[in-house]
Amino acid sequence: MNYSPESAFLSKEEIVAMQEKKLQETIAYLNQYSPFYKEFFSKARFNPSGIKTMEDLSVIPVTIKEDLQQRNEDFLCVPRNKIIEYSSTSGTLGNPVTIMLTENDLTRLACNEYASLVSIESSVNDIYQIMLTLDRQFMAGMAYYSGIQKLGGGIIRLGPGVPSLQWETILRLKPTAIIAVPSFIVKLISYAQEHKIDINSTTVKKALCVGENIRNADFSLNALGKKITDAWDIKLFSTYASTEMQTAFTECTECKGGHLQPDLLIVELLDEMGKAVVPGEPGEVTITTLGVEGMPLLRYKTGDICVYDDTPCACCRNSLRLSPVIKKKKQMLKYKGTTLYPPALFDILHEMENVIEYVAEVSSNEMGTDEVLIYIVPDNFDEETNRKIRANLQARLRVSPHIKYITEEEIKKIQMPEAGRKIIRFIDRRN
């Protein structure tokens, strides 16, 4: 497969023609090799060869996350011995989803992130400090690592957390850019201020932000983005991605939406009735992967609500641009760059022998990002129990939510307020 950042610069007509050709190839591939989609097409009495144009997509039923969860293996189109990478989603409803990648899929992933880096004017002279998880089946860190390799830039593979080590490395190795979750950049700033580090005299001049919004729907910086740039003279670039689509939408230097890489993905934005929305109208991001060998997806609903712009960008790219995620379906939480769903959190807490009762509460902080607080009644109020609970949550969720230990009497008041008719386990206090 040949992928190129230049595909975004094609004319709209050329983009459509390219995507329609790749769409036909994708559907034929699914019909031949995908156990799930072969059955899917048969039950829907759908003729795959009848799909010729982008408009024809609307006759195909959508695929949802529950399909992937319940029939994960049936989406695999190649023998297991062709799989060389296993990546998993975190915190999904029920069981996590595993996305299996072939060597060709990893090449595609690297090309996507290479295109992302090109869009923010990165070059072989850049040195990137990666502040993301590079293990635990987490795709993002691995993807950016591969993209920087393809770019020919320098890589400092440091992983998340530990502000002291991050700053020691910045001052010693002098990276020009970082890849990080925005809320962690705020922690870096706080550490620098506490330890009298002059952040604006460092070599870091830009940050590729992953996992949290730094902009409002109108592309202005939100509270989190402003908090960073008020203290640090640094260029921030937003990116939106998911493990399932194996693709990212990344801003260009105009910062007016994340660009679709049109040779890798078809995207539709659908309303509650499954109809395509017009530019500027909120819709659920629904994707069809192009060129994926291991686990391609057809009209997969992500649960993310965005708006789009299909006018040419000032950067001369003609590909569709997505806004930041403006809301999430089914109580989805975005915490420290990790996607969490309450039912998955509940399953984990139910399984923990040290937890007697619990209530999860989500709110929006001053920066507009999700904060998760879990009220827990432990079997013992001691340090060893606290350590076990926190370690278990960290291992299962990859992040550490805030915890408040309370008594059974106290939690009963939360779970069963006056006039309540059933036990409350989740409280959503987001605006």
On whether both 289 and 411 belong to a single domain, the answer is: no
Local confidence band at 421 (pLDDT 50, 70, 90 cut-offs): very low
Q: What is the mean pLDDT of residues 176-189?
A: 91
Amino acid at 423: I
The pLDDT of residue 182: 87
Stretch among 29-38, 82-91, 110-119, 314-323 having the lowest mean pLDDT: 82-91
* Confidence (pLDDT) at 309: 94
Higher-pLDDT residue of 340, 195? 195
Query: Are 8 and 317 spatial neighbours (Cβ–Cβ below 8 Å)?
Result: yes
277 and 193 inside one domain: yes
**CATH number of the CATH domain containing 14:** 3.40.50.12780
Number of independent structural domains in the chain: 2
Question: How far apart, in whole angstroms, are the C-alpha atoms of residue 146 and residue 151?
Answer: 9
Q: Which of 328, 352, 369 is the last residue of a domain?
A: 328
Mean pLDDT of 331-356: 72
| pLDDT (0 to 100) of residue 4 | 81
pLDDT, position 107: 93
pLDDT band at 431; cut points 50, 70, 90: low
Buried b vs exposed e over 348-372: b needs ≥16 C-beta within 10 Å? Answer: bbeebebbebbbbbbeeeebbbbbb
Q: Tell me how many helices (H) and strands (E) the chain has.
A: 11, 21
Tell me: do 161 and 298 sit in the same domain: yes
65 in Cβ contact with 97 (< 8 Å): yes
**Which residue blocks in 286-382 are alpha helix, DSSP H?**
342-351
> How much is the pLDDT for 418?
61
320 and 344 share one domain: no
Instruction: Please state, in angstroms and as integers, the Cα–Cα distance from residue 248 to each residue in 115, 292, 320, following that order.
Output: 9, 14, 13
Residues 228 and 359 in one domain: no
Confidence tier at 419 by pLDDT (50, 70, 90): very low
Of 310, 328, 346, the one marking the end of a domain is: 328
Domain end position, chosen among 328, 347, 362: 328
Tell me the pTM: 0.76
**Which of 243, 51, 215 is closest to 136 using CA atoms?**
243
Q: Round the average pLDDT of the chain to a whole number and report it.
A: 88
pLDDT at 91: 44
Q: For residue 154, is pLDDT > 80? A: yes
pLDDT digits (tens, 9 = 90+) for 13-36: 999 999 999 999 999 999 999 999
What pLDDT is attached to residue 94? Answer: 46
- The pLDDT value recorded for residue 223 is 76
Q: Give 235-279 pLDDT, tens digit per residue.
A: 999 999 888 989 999 999 999 999 999 999 999 999 989 999 999
Rounded to whole angstroms, the Cα distance separating 265 from 256 reads 19
Question: Reading across the β-sheet that carries 355-364, which strands appear in turn?
Answer: 402-405, 370-378, 355-364, 426-428
Domain that holds residue 115: 5-328
Smallest Cα–Cα separation from 345: which of 373, 364, 370, 324? 373
Model confidence over 285-316: pLDDT tens digits?
999 999 999 999 999 999 888 999 999 999 99
Has residue 93 got a pLDDT over 50? no
- Which residue would you say has higher pLDDT here, 121 or 217? 121
Q: Is 46 exposed, middle or buried (0-12, 13-18, 19+ CB in 10 A)?
A: middle
Say if residues 264 and 257 touch (Cβ distance below 8 Å): no
Q: In the prediction, which pLDDT does 351 show?
A: 76
What percentage of the chain has pLDDT greater than the value 90? 58
| Structure confidence at residue 39 as a pLDDT band (50, 70, 90) | very high
Residue 85 and residue 123 in one domain? yes
Same domain for 185 and 48 = yes
Specify the pLDDT at position 217. Answer: 81
The answer to whether residues 78 and 227 belong to one domain is yes
Do 265 and 350 fall within a single domain?
no
Residues 263 and 407 in one domain: no
Q: Are 108 and 171 in a shared domain?
A: yes
CA distances from 152 to 3, 82, 117, 131 (A): 17, 27, 11, 19
State whether 190 and 105 are in the same domain: yes
State residue 328's pLDDT score. Answer: 66
Is the model's pLDDT at 92 over the cut of 70?
Answer: no
Mean pLDDT of 155-164: 90
CATH code for the domain in which residue 419 is found: 3.30.300.30
Choice among 67-71, 111-115, 189-193, 425-429 with the minimum mean pLDDT: 425-429
Strands 370-378 and 355-364: what pairing? antiparallel
| pLDDT number for residue 341 | 62
% the chain with pLDDT above 70: 92
Q: If DSSP states are collapsed to H, E and C, what string results for 234-278? A: CEEEEEEEECCCCEEEEECCCCCCEECCCCCEEEEEECCCCCECC
Distance from the Cα of residue 191 to its chain's centroid: 27
The pLDDT of residue 331 is: 57
